[in-house]
Each structure stands twice: as C-alpha cells, then as structure tokens.
Structure 1
Amino acid sequence: MLVIAFGLVGAFVYGSADFLGGLASKRLSPFAVTGIAAFSGLAVLLAVYPLVGGAWSAEAALWGSISGVSGAIGISLLYACLAIGPMSILSPLTAVVSAVVPLAVGLARGDGLQPVGYVALALALVAVVLVGFIPEKGAVRPSLRGVLMAVGSGATIGVFLIAIDIAPADSGLVPLVFNRAVNGVIMVTIVLMAVAIARRRSDAAARPPAASDGPARAGLRTALLLALACGVADAAANGLILTGLRLGELSVMSVLVALYPAGTIVLAAIVLKERIALVQVVGLVLAVAAAGMLSLA
C-alpha cells in the first residue's frame, strides 16, 4: 500500500510541476523554463542530499545521466507534438506510451502480480487515457508526424523511469542529481543556441525602453518564480517516484506515474477555474479504483 501512495502522490506532484511549468511557459520559452526548473531542482536535491545520502558510483552517474538525456528528449518532443496537436489525442497517447514501455520492461524482468493486479494495471491504463483526454470542439485527426513525436516522447519518458529503476539501490539521490544536472545543461545549451541564432537573424535596431517594459519585467519575474517552483515540485516528484521504485515494482510504478495529468487538471480547475470534463472525472474514479486493486495485488 505504501508503494501505491508514493506512486499516486508522486504522479500528482509531477502533474503539479507541469502546471507550474505551463504557466511559466506562457511568458518564457518552454526550453528556458525547463532549464531553470532543472537547476532549481538540482539545488533542492543537493540541499537534501546530506539528509538522505546515497553512494556515488560510476553506475549511478551513468544511469542518472541517461535518465537526464531521455527526460530532455521526452520533454522536447512533448512540447513539439502538443504544439502540432490535437492535444486531446496526443496528450493521453504520450502518457500511455510512457507507462507501457517501462511496464513491458518490468514484466519481462519478472515483476510478479496476482491476477487482480493485471486487471488493475489495464484499468489504470484506461484511466490514464481518460484523465489525459482534453475535449476539443472540431478536433482534427493527428498527423503522422504528431503521432510519432507523441510515441517518441512517451518512450523516452519511459526510459527515464527504467534508468532510475536500474540505478544501484544504495545510490539514493545521486542518480537524480545527475539527471537534473544533465537535463539542465542540455536545455540551457538549446536556449543559448536559439538566442544566438535569433540575434544573427535580427536586423532590428536597439530601441529605448517603452512604457510597457515595466509590466513586461514584472511578468518575467513571475515566470522566473513559477519556473523555480516548477523545479522544486519536479525534484520532489522525482524523489517520491524513486522511493516508490525502490520499494515496489517498475511495472506498477510506471502506470501510477502516468496518471500525472490528474495533478495538472485538478490545479487548473482550482486555480484557473477550468472545467473538468465528465470523461476526466470518470478517469479519476477509475484511477482510484485501480490503485485500490493494486494495493490488494
């Protein structure tokens, strides 16, 4: 039951980090937000490390770095495919694939469940689709490019879970430290390259500060704070997920973590007053039912 709690809470906090990152991305580049969040999360992990500990080793560094690279690729592909749309199809597709990949690896490695556990996993996958479903009026069919990006995003996010699970059991937070560091370096490099390219292409002359620069700077400060908070939440979620993986099975945790859109949806409903669709409510109910069944398995 403790594993289920870590998985569900970790998924909710993970979704909360996405919510904060989404708000910040309205004012900053998503890559910049991800880079800032990576380094704020790294700061949190380094601050907590003396309390939690963990053995430093080449293996822990390797798998942590692999998880950082896969996470950076997964997030980049996620933003790209959602920009293409439709989100109502590509968002749940990404979540399902992110669960199926580590689920398959876990079962292939010998993760064992009682029959009710397999039923619960199937039910949870259905819940992932329903929770992540965003109804859109007149939604179009996804392009092959969008589908491939969504599948690639889900697969690489799944690799993140697999890499963290494979890291040595005594490594503690070390894999997550390397994950955040590598992820942050990749994202900051992308942002710097984009800025350099934009400057080369820009022929606009420098202009004096306009009257609207004050509000713009205030918006930038808000975005920076949101990005920093996103990193803190993401680090907390990764810590919960890592603990769940150490206590339980990869196959179970992968499906529970894929319910992360629930955290985003709930916060959007509370903070932004967005309406939760009936199909998403059904998905949340199914997720709770699946979690209860998994606790019996």
Structure 2
Amino acid sequence: MGIIYALLSALSYGTADFLGGFSSRKNSALLVVALSQAMGLVTALVAVYFLRPESLLPSDLLWGIAAGIAGASGVGLLYHGLATGFASIVSPTAAVVGAALPVLFGLIAGERPPLMTWAGVAVAIPAILLLSWEKGEKRDHILRSLELGVLSGIAFSGFFIFIARTGEGSGMAPLLAARGITVPLFFTIALVKKQKLIPRKGTLVTILAGGCLDMLANVFYLLSTRTGFLIIAVILTSLYPAPTVFLQRFFIKEKLSAVRLAGLALAIAGAALIGIGG
C-alpha cells in the first residue's frame, strides 16, 4: 500500500501544482498560496476527523510544527528563487535535493529496500531532474540560483523527514499542526505586503481545489511513510512533476520538450521498478 499511497501523493501534488500555476496566471503567487493554504487547513480538519489520533504525543505535534516551518521555508525560498533567479536551475535543484536528502536519512535510519527498488530509485532521481528542467537562455547569476535551489530543497527535505517522524497513532493531527503554522504565516506576509486577498473572477475554485489537493498529497505521503519505506515514499512522491507536465500538455497545449519526454519515460520506468521491488 505504501507504493500506491506515494503515487497518489505524486498525482495530487502534481495536479495541485498545475492548478496553482494556472491560478497564478491571473493572480499574484502570494494570494494563491495564502488562499490555498487556508483551504488546506480545512482539508486537514476533515482528514483528522476521519483519521483520528489514537495516541497523540506532544512530540508528534512538535514534529508537525517543524515540518510546517520547513515546508513554508521551502515554498518561500523556491518562489524567491524563481522570481530572482533562473527556473532552469532553481526548480530541478530543489526537486533533486528535496528527494536525495530523505533517501540518505532513510539509509542512516537503517532502511534497506530490495535491489530492484534501488534500481528504480536510480532511474527515478534523474527523472525528477529532467521533469523539473526549464530551458533558460541567460547564464548569469547561476551560483545564486543554485544556492536558492539547494536551500529550498533542504527545506523541503525537512518537511518530508520531520512529518515522517510522527507516530502512527497520531493520525493526521501533525498535518493539522503543520498547516496551523503556515496559514497565519502566509496571511501575515500578505497583510504586510498589502496584498488584496480577493482573487480574479473565475479563479477561486481552482485555487481552493489546488489547496485541497495539496493537503491530500500530504495525507497520502504520510500514509505511505507509515506503510512502507521512507525512501520509496519520498522518491515516488517526488515524481509529482509528471502529472503536472501531462496536465499542461492536455489542457493548455504546452509543447513537451525532448528533455521532459525523457523525464516522463524514466519516471514511468522508475515507478515500475520500485513497484516490482516493493
């Protein structure tokens, strides 16, 4: 079940990213993030109702809060990097670092997946890189873009690791704690920047749907870590750019580059090998 949950997480994250990107075409990214985070909080409340804690410990909530801070930091650094640097460097760097560090953590923690699973991981990591790759023309500020990508990836890996440290008996309460930190944070930033929180006509539904799917992705990821290896959960979840690419091609007719097509092929192969090994 861990593999299925991880793939559902990737699908949900990828769809949420597509909806968020689509909404950001008519609204500021900060408005989209703030409103989607609020919808995520509502979704977390529903998740807690259906997956209630059985033995919630203070440490579970603390890990959830730490995960929330790490995730919010990752989003902030990523958006700053995309705004001031080059997406062709920031995005794939953040994606690969965000996946690689939890894999290393899983190894240190003693996880030993089967050999076939490792073959899948070896294929999936370059797939993450290729799926996230954006063509760029300019080459100045490369080091700054790389730095922000690495920092963002470290923050995202913190979310993946911290939330996985919560106990199975805590249910979905850690995710509620995580989102309980990020929602006030993003709304405070929006107020400080005097950002109007009224979306353009026709975009509210896509923003809220994206926020709901983003939290569902977190739920599936957490379930995956509790029913299988952290290494598998992180790698398969990190293939979330694949559904985003498919949706962009289908709905907005975005042309797929040879690099992204290669990434899709590797992603499918990697997921298949992990499924066989798992």
What's the TM-score, normalizing by structure 1? 0.87
Task: Give how far 1:275 is off.
Answer: 1.0
What residue number does 2:173 align with? Answer: 174
* Residue 222 (str. 1) matches residue 202 (str. 2): yes
Q: How many equivalent residue pairs? A: 275
What residue number does 1:65 align with? Answer: 65
AA of the residue aligned to 1:267: L
Q: Residue by residue, what CA displacement relative to the aligned partner does 1:184-219 show, whole Å, maximum 9, x if unpaired?
A: 1111111111118x9xxxxxxxxxxxxxxxxxx8x6
Task: Give how far 1:241 is off.
Answer: 0.8
What residue number does 2:240 align with? Answer: 260
Q: Residue by residue, what CA displacement relative to the aligned partner does 1:66-119 show, whole Å, maximum 9, x if unpaired?
A: 111111110011111112332123211111000011111111100102223222
Task: Give how far 1:139 is off.
Answer: 4.3
AA of the residue aligned to 1:237: A
Equivalent residue runs for 1:85-234 within 5 Å: 85-136=85-136, 138-140=137-139, 142-195=141-194, 220-234=200-214
Which stretch of the first structure deviates more once superposed, 165-174 or 262-271?
262-271
Which stretch of the first structure deviates more once superposed, 148-157 or 8-17?
8-17
Are the counterparts in 1 of residues 123 and 267 from structure 2 also a CA contact under 8 Å?
yes
The match for 1:287 among 254, 258, 267 is: 267
AA of the residue aligned to 2:77: L
Distance in 1 (alpha carbons) for counterparts of 2:235 and 2:33: 24
Are the counterparts in 2 of residues 88 and 133 from structure 1 also a CA contact under 8 Å?
yes
Instruction: Indicate the structure (1 or 2) with the bigger Cα radius of gyration.
Output: 1
Q: How much is the aligned-residue C-alpha RMSD, in angstroms?
A: 1.9
Identity across aligned pairs (percent)?
32
Task: Give how far 1:171 is off.
Answer: 0.8
- Secondary structure class of the residue paired with 2:111: coil
Are the counterparts in 1 of residues 77 and 148 from structure 2 also a CA contact under 8 Å?
yes
Q: Residue by residue, what CA displacement relative to the aligned partner does 1:137-166 show, whole Å, maximum 9, x if unpaired?
A: x34255222111111111111110111100
- Secondary structure class of the residue paired with 2:200: helix
Q: Residue by residue, what CA displacement relative to the aligned partner does 1:237-288 show, whole Å, maximum 9, x if unpaired?
A: 1111111111111111111111111122111111111011122122112111
Distance in 1 (alpha carbons) for counterparts of 2:27 and 2:174: 28
What residue number does 2:227 align with? Answer: 247
- Secondary structure class of the residue paired with 2:27: coil
Which stretch of the first structure deviates more once superposed, 246-255 or 141-150?
141-150
Distance in 1 (alpha carbons) for counterparts of 2:159 and 2:269: 26
Distance in 1 (alpha carbons) for counterparts of 2:180 and 2:67: 11
What's the TM-score, normalizing by structure 2? 0.92
Give unpaired runs (5+ residues) of structure 2: none
Task: Give how far 1:129 is off.
Answer: 1.0
Equivalent residue runs for 1:22-37 within 5 Å: 22-37=21-36
What residue number does 2:37 align with? Answer: 38
The match for 2:253 among 256, 273, 276 is: 273
Are the counterparts in 2 of residues 15 and 260 from structure 1 also a CA contact under 8 Å?
yes
Are the counterparts in 1 of residues 48 and 176 from structure 2 also a CA contact under 8 Å?
no
AA of the residue aligned to 2:14: G
Are the counterparts in 1 of residues 242 and 267 from structure 2 also a CA contact under 8 Å?
no
Distance in 1 (alpha carbons) for counterparts of 2:203 and 2:193: 19
What residue number does 1:209 align with? Answer: none
Distance in 2 (alpha carbons) for counterparts of 1:194 and 1:285: 42
Task: Give how far 1:27 is off.
Answer: 3.0
Distance in 1 (alpha carbons) for counterparts of 2:81 and 2:8: 27
